[in-house]
Each structure stands twice: as structure tokens, then as C-alpha cells.
Amino acid sequence: MRNGRAFWLFVGPFAIGLLVFVYVPIGWSLLLSFFDARNTVTPSEFVGLRNYADMLTDQPFLSSLGTFSVFAAFIVPLTFVLALALALLVNQISFMQGFFRSVFFLPTACSYVVASLVWKLSIFNGVRFGLANTVLGWFGGEPVAWTVSTSPPWYWLVLVTLRLWLQLGFYLILFIAGLQRIPQHLYEAAWIDGARPGWQTLRYITLPQLRTTSVAVVLLLLIAAYQAFDEFYNVLGTDRGYPPFARPPLIYLYYTALGSGGQDFGHGSAGAVILTLLIAGVTLLQGRVITR
């Protein structure tokens, strides 16, 4: 019994908070998702599964999942390959290794808001004086309206390079940690067996040894891309609202539940429940990788 008191002394405050700020919201949201709740957070009229049916047939909601897929299809492999390549390079040098690691890690200090500011107003500014357009001009190209052009959808270049710059350092650190855990004697044995340093050792030793790290990195990248909000909101949003294209799930949810067109918590909650169920599987897999 004494243990019970000690246990709750340690765990109690956290458990109460978890209950109030995680479990109650999820429960409430589940409840709201079966009700009509416009501009109110108390359920008014029971509508059964109608909110869910609305969401699953709602074109903008479905296309937000499409937007996530396109974004993930670019950002996940790009970040993975470049972070791994830079990690291999950094790991192979001795002089100034710390310096390069710090430089690539530094953007992690930057918020997505600040990065959006630089990307939108300085690098990919649509007028002639933007950095990207200046570089284009050297090669005789015409200025491109990067963030507002939909055909071709140049905004993907803006959004993908932004996130790449900001998150690469974090994954680089994970890969370097993974590389440093590979026992050196594996390489020595391979050299004795005649494997040449380079592609062969990379293919047959480094990559297989990095398997756990690689799986974790892919899952973390996917989960992060799924929650993309900050850079989309700040690069594409204006004070006149958000354009009808390039709305990832959280952007869609934000404008449904909290947008200026009226707060619709019934549909917003149904959307949140669907999105939570979709991501839960992936995070479950991530939990397996982390805890094993």
C-alpha cells in the first residue's frame, strides 16, 4: 500500500495531465464527431456517422491526403539520400569534422516561420530581384512566380527545399550516430577479403548495418511530413486566406475547424479522428523500432 502512495506521488501529476489534455480531448472529439457542432464545442444534434460520410466523400479532404502523398514522395527520399550522403562524407573526414556537422545541424535552430520568410520573400520571391530569379536570369531564364504558379506547380520546389534545409541536419546526426556504431573490424575483415573501400563496403557492410537507423529515419520523415503545417501556412497563406491548392491534412483541418468561415467542430473532429487513425499505424511501427 505504501508503494501505491509513492507511485502516485511520482506518476499522479503527469497521469492527471495526460488524462485531461490527451484522453479527454480525444474522447470529447470522438463524441463531437457524431454530432452537429457549429460554432460550439458542446454537441447539439446527433447526426450519427454523417460527419464521417461527409468527410470521406469531401473532395478537399481527400485531396489533402493526395497533397500529403505528393509532398512525402518528394521530401522523404530526398532527405533520406542527402542526409545519408552527407553523413558518409562527414564521417570519412577528420579535419574540420565538427565544423561541418555543426553547419548542417544549425538550420534545426531555425523555426519554419523564419525559414518561410527567407524562402518566400528572399530566395523564391516571384519578382526579378529574388535570388532564384536572379540565378535564372544569369542563364537567360524569365522570372518565375514561384509561390503562386500552379502550372507547373513551382511551389513544390519552394516547400520541398525549405523543409530539406531545415530538417536535414537532424537526420544527418541520426545517421552519423548509426555509422559510429558500426564495428570497425567489419571493414577491416572486408578489406582483408579483398573488398575495395567505396561502393563495395557501402553496399555490403554500411547499408545493412544501418538498417535499424534507416527504418527509423523513414518512419520519422513520414510522420513529420504528415504533420506538415507551418511552412505551407506561411509560404502559401496570405491575409486574404489560403489558396485552394496544396492543402495538406492539418492545413485542411485548421481551416475547417478554426477558419474564418465559421467554426465547424463536428466535421473538424471527424476529420481529426480519421487522420489520427491513419497515422496511428505508422507511429505504432515507429514505436516498435524505437523500443526494440
Partner 1 sequence: MKALRYLALSMAAVLFLIPFYLVLRNGLATEQEITARQWTFWPSEIHWENFGALFANPAVPMVRSMVNSLVVAVLQTVGQLLLCGLAGYGLARIPYRYANVVLYFVVATLMIPAAVTFVPTFVVVSTLGWVSDLRGLVIPGLFSGFTAFLFRQYFLNFPRELEEAARIDGLGHWGTYWRVVVPNSKGFFAALGVIAFVTSWNQFLWPLVIAQDQDSWTVQVALSTFLTAQSIEVTQLFLAAAISITPLVVVFVALQRLLVRGATETGIKG
Report the SS3 class of residue 46.
strand
Of the two residues 110 and 157, which places its CB atom closer to partner 1 in the complex?
110
- Residue 28 near residue 43 (C-beta atoms within 8 A): no
Query: For partner 1, which residue of 121, 148, 189, 207 counts as binding (CB under 8 A)?
Result: 121
141 binds partner 1 (CB under 8 A): no
Give the one residue of 53, 73, 114, 189 binding partner 1; rule: CB under 8 A: 114
- Smallest distance, Å, CB 256 to partner 1? 8
Query: Cα–Cα distance between 235 and 117 in angstroms, integer?
Result: 7
> According to the binding rule CB under 8 A, does residue 167 interact with partner 1?
no
Minimal CA–CA distance to 219: which of 288, 131, 128? Answer: 288
Kindly identify the residues of this chain, within the stretch 192-211, that bind partner 1 according to CB under 8 A.
none
Q: Is 111 in the site for partner 1 (CB under 8 A)?
A: yes
Segment near partner 1 (CB under 8 A), from 12-20, 57-65, 66-74, 201-209? 12-20
How big is the CA angle at 125 (ends 122 and 127), to the nearest 5 degrees? Answer: 125
The answer to whether residue 258 forms part of the interface with partner 1 (CB under 8 A) is yes
The closest alpha carbon to 120, from 236, 288, 276, belongs to 236
The residue from 83, 160, 216, 246 that contacts partner 1 (CB under 8 A) is 216
Specify the DSSP element, H or E, that contains 98.
helix 97-105
Assess 81 for contact with partner 1 (CB under 8 A): no
Neighbouring residues of 72: CB distance < 8 A, sequence distance ≥ 6 = 221, 222, 225, 226
Please tell me the distance from the alpha carbon of residue 76 to that of residue 223, in angstroms, as a whole number: 10
Answer yes or no whether residue 126 interacts with partner 1 by CB under 8 A.
no
What's the Cα-to-Cα distance from 288 to each of 196, 219, 269, rounded to whole Å? 35, 11, 28
The alpha helices in 183-244, defined as continuous H runs, are: 184-192, 199-201, 207-209, 211-226, 230-236
156 binds partner 1 (CB under 8 A): no
- Answer for which of 47, 76, 84, 90 binds partner 1 (CB under 8 A) is 90
Q: Does residue 25 belong to the site contacting partner 1 (CB under 8 A)?
A: yes
182 binds partner 1 (CB under 8 A): no
Using rule CB under 8 A, residue 116 touches partner 1 = yes
Q: Which of 51, 67, 147, 234 binds partner 1 (CB under 8 A)?
A: 234
Residue 22 within binding range of partner 1, rule CB under 8 A: yes
Contact with partner 1 (CB under 8 A) among 29, 67, 79, 167: 29
Q: How far is CA 19 from the centre of its chain?
A: 26
CB under 8 Å to 27, separation ≥6 — which residues?
none
> Could you say which of 53, 62, 131, 202 contacts partner 1 (CB under 8 A)?
131
- Whether 82 and 88 have beta carbons less than 8 Å apart is answered as no
Which region, judged by CB under 8 A, interacts with partner 1, from 50-58, 70-78, 188-196, 274-282? 274-282
Interface with partner 1 includes 266 (CB under 8 A)?
no
Please identify which residue in 62, 89, 189, 202 interacts with partner 1, judged by CB under 8 A: 89
